[in-house]
Amino acid sequence: MYKYKCLNAISSAINTVFDDQYEPTEDMDQADAIIVRSAKMHDFEFSDDLLAIARAGVGVNNIPLERCAEQGIVVFNAPGANANGVKELVIASLINGARNIPDAIRWVKDNADDPDLAKDVEKGKKKYVGTEIKGKSLGVIGLGAIGGMVANAADVLGMNVYGVDPFLSVRNALSLSRNVRVLRSRDELYGVSDFITVHLHLTDETRGMIDKDAFESMNDGVILLNFSRGEVVDEQALADALESGKVRKYVTDFADPEIMKLPNVIATPHLGASTTEAEVNCAIMAAEELRDYLENGNITNSVNFPACNAGVCRSKGRITVAHKNTPAMLNKFTKVFSDENINIANMTNQTRGDYAYCIFDIDSETTDLLIDDLKAIDGVIRVRKIK
């Protein structure tokens, strides 16, 4: 029986993945796995029994990834599962920004009691004349699942689309429309864009990336969209750019009191993935990742351990080892098996930065002695008996 704790309201679609082997618990210390959406986990203490955390979303800046890795807790996310929901909101927001729709709606509401409203709108609307997006240039920073979909949709709407992504994967590159021009640098993109949309993970490298220099390189009157994380944009530099008119509008899914004091800000309350479809997709992907890890020891879409997959175990035993990525670890592991005269039927080892992960399928039953001997090796973080 596996116990899981949902830290936020997670779609009941997880029950299509979790069978009667799984039960929810309220007690985090009892949980084998946690599913989280936006709860901030940086101050959490994790029990030694916690095996995994799955984020039912993409961004993982609410989870202490390094501390989890040191404790052998595998953290998963759900890349692409909410991409369509976010893409649709970005496209709506692009048009909202260009056509001044939120201000215009507010004007109508404010004048709702005007008995001549039907006539007065013809005068009132003059303040809200906008621009069309067809034929304008959109710069997309980050061509992952969301950025790629936004780029393709904007292309269909007749925009000239430019993108930049130093880590563009082959898969994402192949999904891009042929019309999307991939540039070498953000500076190049700033110089050609009427609209810029940011689709980056928040990391130490991307925090404050849209700074004073970036704004200076942008075209006058640009509309900037940020549906990734608020902290990617430097707040003071943004304030200056809005005051000077360099940025015509800042359209964001991340409202905070300082941002809301600035002129020409359109903010939504982190609504990007708040669609029934995205919530279902994220919950299912998170639950499937957890299930495969808990039952088979396989890792897919982890953000702190390498991907490692040996399928379903067909041999007598399976052991997984999470360990530090240091020299000669495999020699030490295989010596344990050979000392106990155990044949390794299949073995897979993958590394990611400072961490590594091994799956051993063996032709014997897994014994406590074997587990204890592997645990005793310096650099081993966690050993699990899967079978």
Which residues form the interface with ligand MLT (CB under 6 A)? 37-38, 57-59, 82, 270, 272-273
For residue 228, the minimal CB distance to ligand MLT (Å) is 8
Closer residue to ligand MLT, CB minimum distance, 273 or 308: 273
CA pair distance 120, 114, nearest whole angstrom: 8
Closer residue to ligand MLT, CB minimum distance, 229 or 246: 229
For residue 300, the minimal CB distance to ligand MLT (Å) is 17
The answer to whether residue 270 is catalytic is yes
Paired with 384 in beta bridges are: 320
Closer residue to ligand MLT, CB minimum distance, 57 or 317: 57
333, 360 contact by CB (below 8 A): yes
Which of 216, 243, 258, 340 is the catalytic position?
258
For residue 157, the minimal CB distance to ligand MLT (Å) is 23
Q: Which long-range contacts (CB under 8 A, 24 or more apart) does 370-375 make?
A: 370/319, 370/336, 370/337, 370/340, 370/342, 371/319, 373/336, 373/339, 373/340, 374/319, 374/321, 374/333, 374/336
Closer residue to ligand MLT, CB minimum distance, 90 or 224: 90
Largest CA distance in the chain: 92
Residue whose C-beta lies closest to ligand MLT: 57
Which of 55, 229, 318, 323 is the catalytic position?
229
124, 100 contact by CB (below 8 A): no
Closer residue to ligand MLT, CB minimum distance, 227 or 357: 227
For residue 301, the minimal CB distance to ligand MLT (Å) is 13
The answer to whether residue 199 is catalytic is no
For residue 205, the minimal CB distance to ligand MLT (Å) is 17
The answer to whether residue 258 is catalytic is yes
Q: How many CB atoms lie within 10 A of CB 277?
A: 14
78, 301 contact by CB (below 8 A): yes
Closer residue to ligand MLT, CB minimum distance, 200 or 329: 200
For residue 282, the minimal CB distance to ligand MLT (Å) is 7
Which of 67, 181, 201, 270 is the catalytic position?
270
337, 362 contact by CB (below 8 A): yes
**Which residues are marked as active site?**
229, 258, 270
